[in-house]
Amino acid sequence: MNKNSLKVDIVVVGGGIAGLAAGALAASNNASVLVLEAHQLGGRARSVNRDGFIFNLGAHALYQGGMAMQILHSLGIYPRGTPPPLKRYRALIGQELHKMPTTPANLLTSTALGFRAKIRLVRALSSIDQLSADQFFERSAGSWIANLGLPEEAESILRAICRLSSYVGELDEVSADVIVSQLQIGRRGVLYLHDGWRQLVEALSFLVPYRVGCGVEKLLPTRDHIEVHTQSQVFAAKAVIVATGIPSATGLLLNNSSFTSSGSDVTAACLGVGVSHVPEPGYVLDIDKPLYATTQLTQANQSPTDRAVVEVVRYGARSAKLDRQALEAHLCFAGVNASDIVTSRFLPAMTVAGVLPTPSSGGLAGRRSVYESGIPGVFLAGDWIGPKGWLADAALASAQEASNAALAWSAHQSLSRSIHLTAQKTTSDSTDGYPEESI
């Protein structure tokens, strides 16, 4: 072992919410842990303050019924947030706004679809809870929706709801298990987090030691530990968790080109604006195009009083120019005009999830497991890892599994080392350094 290397039970590479949660979970089991982050803590869950408006990196909502919430609770973190006001949601059909059938009252009075289509849509949505999502991985969400045989107007609304609950625009490509499970957990609602998602990042960062500006360049496995090399230091870890966010960054670190062919990622173009008033209607889902506008309420502390942060998203990024035009046009339907905008931030191509599960890749369960790093003692975590959950739920579910695996590995390493040392001691005590005769 390098004399100057710092010994730790578990090093976590990457300080996004997967890495921080993995580290916090391991630390809560009395392991010595260090999270190393190349840039700033939080990764894609960071929030930035611009002129008093707090922007997440694109519209973010935490699913109340998802695994992330359960795991945060297990760490003693109870996220503070507000559910978006579903009755204010509007459906954009062509150039016209209608009430979005997001609440029973909206459904009854909505002009977005006729009576028969309403009944069929309600029946389809209420039967989803009885489905076993994992049985739908072999077909695309598009074909699953088409097979429901809904009237066209109800089908278009269902497709828009599916995009909204999953952040996926490519419904004809994504496996249906992703969508069915998201519709199921979506029933419990979402929270817009007070102060943005930095609330989660801050809460997690209190539970585990970390270093920022500390990019890991390589991992070198030795006989009894793994050397973790940054530009200026070497750490000796019994186990390592790699939570570097996207497959290409993981492949680069592990020097393994198979990660680059993990499949296509899920992208979005995001325009966030700080506006001088709370817009009406503020929440608009385009039924025919993959566009959505949402307002982060002033109660969510994301903007000064009587002002608001409005986020517009295109599910599936194309060219920056084309997407920006589409997002700006959609803002007008949400009630925001150019003269209302105090500040703005455009993210042309965000990676929402590292890998798009498809029927041919085996759906959610076909994603790479936490154990498939290719290096013993090195485990993976992220929103494209493991069989459970989607988006932040997958990031934290895999973080939990990777943390358990790293703890078990690290305990095994300690045990092997103490057996080895005891054996060495016994040998030297009993033989004065000479080999014993075998019986």
Residues of this chain that bind ligand FAD (CB under 6 A): 13-19, 36-39, 43-45, 57-58, 60-61, 167, 215-216, 243-245, 249, 253, 268, 270, 350-352, 382-383, 391-393, 395
**What is the distance between the alpha carbons of residues 413 and 70, in angstroms, rounded to a whole number?**
30
352 vs 355, beta carbon nearer ligand FAD: 352
Q: Is the CB of 45 or the CB of 297 nearer to ligand FAD?
A: 45
Residue 234 burial by Cβ neighbours in a 10 Å radius (0-12, 13-18, 19+):
middle
Which of 224, 285, 237 has the alpha carbon at shortest distance from 34? 237
CA angle 38, 42, 43 (to 5 degrees): 60
User: Which of 112/253 has CB closer to ligand FAD?
Assistant: 253
User: Cis omega before residue 348 (within 30°)?
Assistant: no
Alpha helices in 213-287 (DSSP H): 247-254
Shortest separation between residue 322's beta carbon and ligand FAD, angstroms: 18
Judged by CB, which is closer to ligand FAD: 155, or 286? 286
Q: Which residues pair with 91 in a beta bridge?
A: 98, 285
Residue 348 C-beta: closest distance to ligand FAD, Å: 11
CA dihedral 152, 157, 163, 164 (to 10 degrees): 180
Instruction: State whether residue 29 is helix, strand or coil.
Output: coil
Half-sphere exposure of 210 (CA within 13 A, CB side): 30
- Tell the smallest beta-carbon distance from residue 147 to ligand FAD (Å): 27
Q: By C-beta, is 139 or 324 nearer to ligand FAD?
A: 324
Residue 332: name the closest of 84, 59, 109, 90 by CA: 90
- Candidates 216, 244, 183, 269; CA nearest to 384 is 244
Q: How far apart are CA 211 and CA 61, in angstroms?
A: 27
Q: How far is the CB of 250 from ligand FAD (least distance, A)?
A: 8
3-state helix, strand, coil in the chain (%, to 5): 40, 25, 40
Give the count of alpha carbons within 13 A of 176, CB side only.
Answer: 19
When the beta carbons of 141 and 266 are compared against ligand FAD, the nearer one is 266
* Closest to ligand FAD by CB, 31 or 191: 191
Nearer to ligand FAD, 215 or 366 (CB): 215
d(CA 274, CA 293): 13
Taking the complex as a whole, the smallest distance from the CB of residue 56 to ligand FAD amounts, in Å, to: 7
Least distance (Å) from ligand FAD to the CB of residue 107? 24
Output the six-digit token pair for 389.
């959950």
- At its nearest, how many Å lie between ligand FAD and the CB of residue 289? 17
Closer residue to ligand FAD, CB minimum distance, 80 or 116:
80
Burial (CB count within 10 angstroms: exposed 0-12, middle 13-18, buried 19+), residue 211: middle
- Closest distance to ligand FAD from the beta carbon of 191 (Å): 10
Q: Shortest approach of ligand FAD to residue 12 CB, angstroms?
A: 9
Contact status, residue 228 vs residue 240, Cβ threshold 8 Å: yes
Which residue, 144, 179, 201, is CA-closest to 390? 179
Nearer to ligand FAD, 153 or 383 (CB): 383
Q: How far is the CB of 366 from ligand FAD (least distance, A)?
A: 18
